[in-house]
Amino acid sequence: MSPQHIADGRDVFARRYEYDDEAVIALDLGVEASDASVDVVDGTAIVVVETPEGERQEEFDLPNEQARAFIRNGVLTIEVNA
């Protein structure tokens, strides 16, 4: 396993883990689990977060068609098979 911290200017903490047969990207959205949802459409993970200021939407391009995205306990996880 090879962890890597990712920072892209958003207020989201992300980490990438490389395994022999897959990569896992975990993004801490900093919200309650019930306040966020994710859908995958045409290779893009679309995350909708409910905040006191209103709804916020983020999009993350997935590296391939085999990628899965889900949210658990406010953490967006993207799994990519090698």
Judged on CB neighbours under 10 Å (0-12, 13-18, 19+), 29 is buried
% of the chain beyond a pLDDT of 90 = 0
Tens digits of residue pLDDT in 23-44: 888 888 776 656 888 888 888 8
Closest CA to 28 of 76, 67, 61: 76
CATH architecture of 2-81: Sandwich (2.60)
* pLDDT computed for residue 14 by the predictor: 80
Residue 38: HSE in the Cβ half-sphere, 13 Å Cα cutoff: 23
Q: What is the pTM of this model?
A: 0.70
* pLDDT computed for residue 74 by the predictor: 81
* pLDDT computed for residue 36 by the predictor: 85
Helix (H, G, I), strand (E, B) or coil at 34: helix
* pLDDT computed for residue 40 by the predictor: 86
